[in-house]
Amino acid sequence: MTLTDPRITRLIALGKAALNPPPGGRRKALALGMGGVTHGLFALGVGAMVVQMAFGMTQTFGAVPWPWAILANAILLLQFPLAHSFFLTRQGGKLLTKLIPGPHGGTLATTTYALIASIQLLALFTLWTPSGVIWWRAEGAALVAICIAYAGSWLLLGKTLFDGGLELQSGALGWMSLLGGRKPVFPGMPTRGTFRLIRQPIYVAFALTLWTVPVWTPDQLAVAIAYTAYCIAAPRLKERRFAKRYGPEWAGYRARVPYMLPLRNTKEPN
């Protein structure tokens, strides 16, 4: 067999094609790679959150000496809401488009956003340094009831994410658009399902997961208080963006549907 053998020529050609795929092939490879990494880390991050909160944040891997652990845990608590909110601003959005080198950063912005959030969740719920203090642990019938409530809270969160546009919420919008060679088309203003009852069902469901846990520790209380405050405050910024984006449609929806509790309020702060 010589280098001029047709079989050798075909192998060399296949090798060159693999090392230098056409632009469309590189684009699809980038899309599938980003999608796989993002959804894999998203599953790990959410899985870590489900497990660690079920144990009151006692099974994490952080080992920072005390009292420095207080500072380390505070940084872990704050990094998620601060970055999550920043990347939704105009400046943060511009930065998102630059984090992926090349011409596809803008298309992949929603996927990059979900990827960063997944890494942040994974860091928080694996690197937390536990205090070692357990205040209360449910047992017997109470354990069964609370576990059902905990599972129900997560199912409700999944339902609200679906109602809000799962493709957008999960980061799939970006990589699927890139895979199809098109610009991302954002879904309209969410008004179906749980969004018929309240304007911010995702945040309410997320807050419920924080308080329906079977083990209570100072660690879990810190997480629950910090992120409940975030769930109450952060949607105000989201609603300002919606007011600019949807105008009269948002104003009518806001007038009909209450903020977080399915109660009709005669007065509500702007």
Q: For residue 152, what are the contacts with CB-CB under 8 A and spacing of at least 6?
A: 212
What are the pLDDT digits (tens) for 39-91?
Answer: 999 999 999 999 999 999 999 999 999 999 999 999 999 999 999 888 888 88
Q: Say what the pLDDT of residue 9 is.
A: 56
Please report, for the chain, the start and end positions of each structural domain, with discontinuous segments joined by +: 24-256
What are the pLDDT digits (tens) for 207-258?
Answer: 999 999 999 999 999 999 999 999 998 888 888 888 888 899 999 999 999 9
Percent pLDDT > 90 in the chain is 60
- The burial class, CB within 10 Å (0-12 / 13-18 / 19+), for 73 is buried
- pLDDT above 60: residue 265: no
Secondary structure letter of residue 170 according to DSSP: T
Q: Say what the pLDDT of residue 266 is.
A: 47
- H/E stretch holding 160 reads helix 140-163
- pLDDT above 70: residue 5: no
Which tokens go with 5? 């053998």
- SS3 sequence of 185-239: CCCCCCCCHHHHCCCCHHHHHHHHHHHCCCEECHHHHHHHHHHHHHHHHHHHHHH
Q: For residue 38, what are the contacts with CB-CB under 8 A and spacing of at least 6?
A: 111, 114, 115, 118, 171, 175
